[in-house]
Chain A
Amino acid sequence: MEAQAQQAEKEDDFIYPIFYQYPPYFTLQPVKETQQKQRLLWKDLILRYCRHHRVFVVSAEDAEDFPLFHNPAINRRLTREFKVLLLDDLVRQGSALWSDRAQRAALVLWRAIPEWAELIYRWARGCGFEDSVVTVDEMQSGMYVTGTELEGLHREVLVRAVRNLEQQGKAKLFKGALGDDEGVKFFTQA
């Protein structure tokens, strides 16, 4: 209940663009130039919306009915084709990743992976985790991330960011014995 109330509160302070109230924008425009403009507007809106609500997964399925793609006030929703088209635009510009081949959902990177990596490394340094091991779970929901930007970070995004740090020689993802969680060891920068 409380979570729902919070969600509603958040919903309120997100400012929707004016076009969100116009039914034509919920239909893919046939004229090429208009359509390009339309897709650009939607793309920015998706990124802004996800950043605001800290949403990582955007579903293209009709059954899921992602709130942004449905405006009950004007009784309009995007078709699956339109959603896939928009998410594909994001994937092409590197701001999203398809979660599966069937393109049922996409992982929206409203912060680029290197940015996440930088954020994680700064957090680890701040907590004194250099040369220490932190579990992936701890980085998502442990007491050290409470109230930080990392809280609730999507696992896939987190793993990709750690892989980015791995390339920089700042961290390593590893698995322990059978049944153990995944861990990340942070290194002091050479």
Chain B
Amino acid sequence: MGQLISKKPRLEINEADRAVLTLKSQARKLEQQRQRIQGNVDREMAIAASLVAQGKKDRALLALKRKKLQEGQLAKLDAYLLNVEEMLGNLELTKNQQRLMAALKQGNTAMKEMQQAMPLEEVEKLMQDSADAREYEQNLRQLLGESLNPEEAEAAEAELHQLEQQLLDEHVLEMPRVPSGKAAAAAPAAKQEQPAAAVAAAAGVGGGAEEGGQQLEAPLAELPSVPTTKVQPPKEAAEAAAEEEAREPERVLVEA
């Protein structure tokens, strides 16, 4: 919180940081020492070799003993270094654990706070409120629906009837004209259908030809009501259709 308020974040150095620094410093010093001793070991070795060459065995032995001593120290130093490094690793790990713990704790508190923000009673109340609201709305709608009094409703109904009647009357008036109009329309339609069917047949499109045949059926059905003047064209059309149907299986075979 304090960090949020103060503009400059506080750069705190805690004990753990100092401990890490001390350990790292020690590690560096140990490393330096190790290098120095390693140098000594190499030097003693060289001295021993040259002494042996000169035939000074005693002094060579002494040099080798010193070398052994140094090597022992080297081993100890290595152990120390390992120790320091282990400690550093542990510190880092513990710090991470601490941070993880804090994060988990924070998450937990946040969850609790959020849960507290919506106690059960309030949720219950909320549900009740919304139920109440629904009920209220239903009542309102009912009231509004009934706000038309019976007479007005009846008047509206009467108006509806009147409109329907009017529509029906108009229909009836048009009735007589219907047959002649339809016959006139049917004849040219039949004539027109014929070339269309022929074209379709010539094109050899199976679906199209079949459609043409179907379209021809309608005028044929109406034929009885029309005076028997022109039978020829439909007949031809029918024949064409029949021919078409006869050819149909063939085509299917070819297609297959």
Contacts and interface: CB of A to CB of B under 8 A. Distances in A.
Specify whether A and B are partners. yes
Contacts of B11: 166, 169, 171-172, 185, 187
B8 interface: yes
Interface string B12-38: 010001101110110010000000000
Contact of A133 (B3, B9, B17, B99): B17
B8 A185 contact: no
B91 to A, nearest CB: 10
A180 B13 contact: no
A3 B8 CA distance: 45
Contacts of A133: 17, 20-21, 24
Interface string A114-152: 000000000000000001111101100000000000000
B24 A138 contact: yes
Given A181-B28, A190-B3, A135 B13 contact: no
Contacts of A169: 8-9, 11
A137 B22 contact: no
B86 interface: no
A133 B27 CA distance: 14
B161 interface: no
Interface string B156-189: 0000000000000000000000000000000000
B175 to A, nearest CB: 90
A174 B9 CA distance: 16
B92 A174 contact: no
A30 interface: no
Contact of A176 (B3, B21, B92, B95): B21
In this complex, the interface size class of chain A, counting residues with CB under 8 Å from chain B, is 20 to 34
Nearest to B88: A133
Nearest to A175: B21
A179 B21 CA distance: 11
B16 to A, nearest CB: 8
A165 to B, nearest CB: 10
Contacts of B17: 133, 174, 183, 185
A181 B21 contact: yes
B136 to A, nearest CB: 51
A169 B12 CA distance: 10
Contacts of A172: 11, 13
B237 to A, nearest CB: 88
A174 B3 contact: no
Interface string B75-111: 0000000000000000010010001000000000000
Contact of A181 (B9, B13, B25, B95): B25
Nearest to B13: A174
A183 B24 contact: yes
A132 B17 CA distance: 7
B9 A190 contact: yes
Contacts of A177: 18, 22
A132 B3 contact: no
21 contacts: A131-B95, A131-B99, A132-B92, A133-B17, A133-B20, A135-B24, A135-B25, A135-B28, A137-B28, A166-B11, A169-B9, A171-B11, A174-B17, A174-B21, A176-B18, A176-B22, A180-B25, A183-B21, A183-B24, A187-B9, A190-B9
Interface of B: 3, 8-9, 11, 13, 17-18, 20-22, 24-25, 28, 92, 95, 99
Given A132-B20, A181-B24, 7 more contacts: A133-B17, A135-B25, A169-B8, A169-B11, A174-B18, A176-B18, A180-B21
Interface of A: 131-135, 137-138, 166, 169, 171-172, 174, 176-177, 179-181, 183, 185, 187, 190
